[in-house]
Amino acid sequence: MYADNRRASFDYEILEKFQVGIVLEGHEVKSIRLGRINVAGSYAKIIGNELWLVGATISPYQPQNTASNYDPQRTRKLLVKKSELRYLIGKLQEKGLTLVPLSVYNKNSLIKLELGLGKSKKKSDKREKIKTRETERKIERTLKQY
C-alpha cells in the first residue's frame, strides 16, 4: 500500500468500494512507488462522462530534474468500466453522496486506487466517535495499571 486516507473513514460513512486505475506519467509512477503521494483532501468527480481525480498530490520523483511545467496537483483521469461509470453517475445524482479516495496500492505491478462511495457524517456523529474512543483509552489505561 502506497497511501491511505484515514481521514475519509472519519468524515464519511463508506457505503461501497470500487477499484479503479489511474492515468499517470512515468516519473509519477516512480514517485508513487517511493510513497510520495497524498490523497487526503482529494475526491473523484465526473466530468463529461469520464471519472477524474481532483486534489491528489504526487511529489516529483527527482525535484531538481523535473519539468518546469509539472503540476503535482493536476487533475488525473481514472480508468473504470463503462457499466461501473453509469452506476456511479446514477449514484452521484443522489443527494449527499461523494466519491472519496481511500487508498493507493499495487496490484499485479499496476497502481490502483480504491474509491469509496460515501455519505458525509454529521458533526454529532464525529463527536460521538471521539468520545467512545477516549473512553476506551481510559478503560485500557486503568486495566494496564492493575
pTM of the predicted model as reported, rounded to 2 decimal places: 0.80
Torsion region of 60: left, alpha or beta (phi above 0 gives left; psi -120 to 50 gives alpha): beta
9 — pLDDT class (breaks 50, 70, 90) = confident
Q: What is the pLDDT of residue 69?
A: 83
Residue 29: inside a domain, yes or no?
A: yes
Residue 82: inside a domain, yes or no?
A: yes
Q: Kindly write down the DSSP assignment for every residue of 83-94, as one continuous string.
A: HHHHHHHHHHTS
pLDDT tens-digit series, residues 52-91: 999 999 988 887 777 788 888 999 999 999 999 999 999 9
Residue 104: inside a domain, yes or no?
A: yes
Residue 135: inside a domain, yes or no?
A: no
Residue 59: inside a domain, yes or no?
A: yes
For 16, other C-beta atoms within 10 Å of its C-beta total: 13
Q: Match 472519519 to its residue by C-alpha cell.
A: 10
Quick one: cell of 24? 499517470
Eight-state DSSP code of residue 65: G
Q: To which H or E segment does residue 78 belong?
A: strand 76-79
For the chain, the domain total comes to 1
Residue 137: inside a domain, yes or no?
A: no
Question: Residue 12 is part of a domain; what is its CATH number?
Answer: 2.40.280.10
Amino acid at 6: R
Q: Could you give the residue ranges of the DSSP H alpha helices within the chain? A: 6-11, 26-33, 82-92, 123-145
Q: What is the pLDDT of residue 83?
A: 94
Domain of residue 40, residue span: 3-120
Q: What is the pLDDT of residue 33?
A: 92
Go through the chain and tell me how many residues it has. Answer: 146
